[in-house]
A and B are shown apart, each in its own frame.
Chain A
Amino acid sequence: MEAKTLFDKIWDGHVVDSVENGPDILYIDQHYIHEVTSPQAFTGLENRGIPLFRPDKTLATVDHNIPTQNQHLPIREELSRLQVATLKDNCERHSVKLYGLTHPFNGIVHVIGAELGITQPGMTLVCGDSHTSTHGAFGAIAFGIGTSEVEMVFASQCILQPKPKRMRISINGNLNKGVIAKDIILYIISKISASGATGYFVEYAGDTITSLSMEARMTICNMSIEMGARGGMIAPDEVTFDYINGREFAPQGEAWDQAVENWKKLKTDEGAVFDKELDLKAEDIHPMITYGTNPGMGISVNEAIPALESLPAVEQESFKKSLNYMGFEPGSKLLGHPVDYVFLGSCTNGRIEDFRVFASLVKGKKKADNVTAWLVPGSWQVEKQAREEGLDVILKAAGFELRQPGCSACLAMNDDKVPAGKYAVSTSNRNFEGRQGPGARTLLASPLTAAAAAITGKITNPADLM
């Protein structure tokens, strides 16, 4: 038999039909939706007068457009309130399960899908949200789609997709002190650029990757889109199975044994060919931070921003524009630069392990006075577990408070906006101009580096505080 990649096995197993000289019709096992990218798709469906084809394969949550305080009160801003209400109406009309505001399972779509055991190996999953790639950590094909495509899935449980090319990124070796999953992915993106994987679906492999926890793997797959990839995935193994076992919607009893047996076959065959391969060494990775306005503009915290002359002439104009926005000089160092805001949260770093590492670093220390910190769990389940583990007490003693779950300052659609010109060390995934509020200056980093900044009030190498 021909050697196949994990990606090909899952993709080929979901092709309903192929259009000659065009895309595949790909069957979707699980569709996640949220309030921002679904309303126009529901309207489209209704204008056509057709029903939602498989409501049982659709799950809805509200996350993007909600406050992170006083969620029991009506949302103050009218448009946000209307959008949340529209989702509720739409879900009721089309029999879609919705984990709405204050539901115990509510949270960021990519956090809850995984923690509820809905995302499983071998599946195809889509959501009108680019960070759907997160779910690839389970050995699934998961990718973000636009609203027209959401409507396609509503209508037919299928999507028209040209098959992407395959790339494998292998990382081997032991990680340095202070380096966690976020640093790995920021490092990869800094190496291949914000468009380096466009057109590809990435499989992450190597012993550094397999040694990671499920949550760390999600952090890595989450940011695949930040290098342009259609998605990222990691072959499922015991770590994956242990994580899923016993979760709310995981298979049980005999069905569980059967599922695991099937999942064990989900790996890239020896000798399978990728369109592109990249090998990296774990020892080369240090705690990372971004200095510019796309996620490819990252350096290790100890390094200096590249000098203008070190860049190809065609890139210099965009680079200058970016640094101008950030208020940084080419060639300068970031270490010691004052920080105004720290954001812990998002679908990249809003899970329990992220709160644990943040708490472990700030334990027994005090938040810097010049820093405003927003600690936003990715879901109510994360929030609950943080309290059960006493993390809230540790955080409180250090001057921090937990807010209520949601996307929050990751995209600043709610009130959690970083003011113009202010510097935010953020555990989210995008440092675009204005992403965290008009004029806000975002520096992406790991929860450890964010914790270090929150304690010292400036950009700090977390390894120095450990």
Chain B
Amino acid sequence: MSIEKFNILESTCVPLPVENVDTDQIIPARFLKATSREGFGENLFRDWRYDKDNNPKPDFVLNNSQYSGQILVAGKNFGSGSSREHAAWAIFDYGFGAVVSSFFADIFKNNALNNGLLPVQVTEEFLAKVFEAVKKDAAAKLKIDLKKQEVTLLSTGETCDFEINGYKKTCLLNGYDDIDFLLSKKDKILAFELTQNGS
């Protein structure tokens, strides 16, 4: 099995300058009843996107045709709260390939990486510049280069490095899958179990 490869992503952005966006906002609990992974994008940010009669709320960014692209840019502590992987599925399913923020919650970060959605953690200053650039010109683009671990604001040429652990980077660049990797370690796992039972 494999996941989609990630190399370079160059795209316009969808700005969401809100802090502490929790996974309950990304995908509310009432949409977690499905037993497959598909179709969550439809309900991405459901309660921010639609009013209670299911009419799109014009002031929400996903309903603003000015903004589009494969990169979601959000305020700090993105993805906090519930461990629901459905949040990563919803963002990916909607069409995003990366989320840029100055801080990510741990579980969300793992979930995103496990689905080929790249969490790009940048400095507060860089994030502020991206928001500013996109505000000025909705066509402003970001270029995310995974190999170089670098994100560039193309309109100004400013860059920012980002961290990713070496293992996950290799997985994403090559489309490797964690479970295949773990299964290749079966001997070690069985040996470990023997030491546990003996103790």
Q: How distant is A53 from chain B, measured CB to nearest CB, in Å?
A: 8
Chain B contacts for A420, CB-based, 8 A? 52
| CB-based contact A438/B85 at 8 Å | no
| CB-based contact A22/B165 at 8 Å | yes
| CB-based contact A21/B167 at 8 Å | yes
Q: How far apart sit A19 and B161, CA to CA, in the bound complex (Å)?
A: 23
Chain A contacts for B88, CB-based, 8 A? 146
| CB-based contact B183/A146 at 8 Å | no
| CB-based contact A156/B85 at 8 Å | no
Q: Which of A16, A146, A152 contacts B188 (CB 8 A)?
A: A16
| CB-based contact A152/B179 at 8 Å | yes
Chain B contacts for A315, CB-based, 8 A? 19
| CB-based contact A294/B179 at 8 Å | no
**Stretch from B23-31, B134-142, B149-157 at the A interface:** B23-31
Central interface residue in A50, A145, A314, A432, by most chain B CB within 10 Å: A432
Chain B contacts for A25, CB-based, 8 A? 182, 185, 188-189
Q: How distant is A304 from chain B, measured CB to nearest CB, in Å?
A: 22
Interface presence of B159 (CB below 8 A): no
Q: Which of B36, B106, B110, B179 contacts A199 (CB 8 A)?
A: B106
Central interface residue in B77, B88, B179, B183, by most chain A CB within 10 Å: B179
Chain A contacts for B75, CB-based, 8 A? 318
Q: How distant is B111 from chain A, measured CB to nearest CB, in Å?
A: 4
Chain B contacts for A412, CB-based, 8 A? 29-30
| CB-based contact A16/B80 at 8 Å | no
Chain A's interface size range is: 35 or more
| CB-based contact B52/A228 at 8 Å | no
Chain B contacts for A158, CB-based, 8 A? 182, 185, 189
| CB-based contact B103/A146 at 8 Å | no
Chain B contacts for A79, CB-based, 8 A? 33-34
| CB-based contact A16/B189 at 8 Å | yes
| CB-based contact A19/B106 at 8 Å | no
Chain B contacts for A432, CB-based, 8 A? 22, 24-25, 81
Q: How far apart sit A50 and B1, CA to CA, in the bound complex (Å)?
A: 12
Interface presence of A144 (CB below 8 A): yes
| CB-based contact B83/A145 at 8 Å | yes
Interface presence of A330 (CB below 8 A): no
Q: How distant is B116 from chain A, measured CB to nearest CB, in Å?
A: 11
Central interface residue in B76, B83, B166, B179, by most chain A CB within 10 Å: B83
Q: Which of A40, A198, A434 contacts B37 (CB 8 A)?
A: A40
Q: How far apart sit A17 and B82, CA to CA, in the bound complex (Å)?
A: 29
Q: How far apart sit A146 and B106, CA to CA, in the bound complex (Å)?
A: 11
| CB-based contact A50/B183 at 8 Å | yes
Central interface residue in B17, B18, B86, B192, by most chain A CB within 10 Å: B192
Residues 85-123 of chain B: 1 if any A CB is under 8 Å from the residue's CB, otherwise 0? 110100000000000000111110011001100000000
| CB-based contact B25/A36 at 8 Å | no
**Stretch from A80-88, A102-110, A209-217, A238-246 at the B interface:** A80-88
Q: How far apart sit A21 and B169, CA to CA, in the bound complex (Å)?
A: 10
Q: How distant is A190 from chain B, measured CB to nearest CB, in Å?
A: 14
Give chain A interface residues in 152-166, CB to chain B under 8 Å: 152, 155-158, 160, 162, 164
Interface presence of A411 (CB below 8 A): yes
Q: How far apart sit A112 and B106, CA to CA, in the bound complex (Å)?
A: 26
Q: Would you mind naming 25 contact pairs between A and B with Cβ atoms under 8 Å apart? A: A19-B167, A22-B168, A23-B167, A25-B182, A40-B36, A48-B179, A77-B33, A128-B83, A144-B83, A151-B179, A156-B186, A195-B76, A198-B77, A228-B77, A228-B80, A230-B106, A317-B17, A411-B82, A413-B29, A430-B81, A432-B25, A433-B24, A433-B25, A434-B25, A434-B47
Given contacts A147-B111, A155-B182, A158-B182, 9 further A-B contacts (CB under 8 A): A16-B189, A27-B193, A65-B32, A148-B115, A157-B189, A158-B189, A164-B106, A318-B19, A318-B20
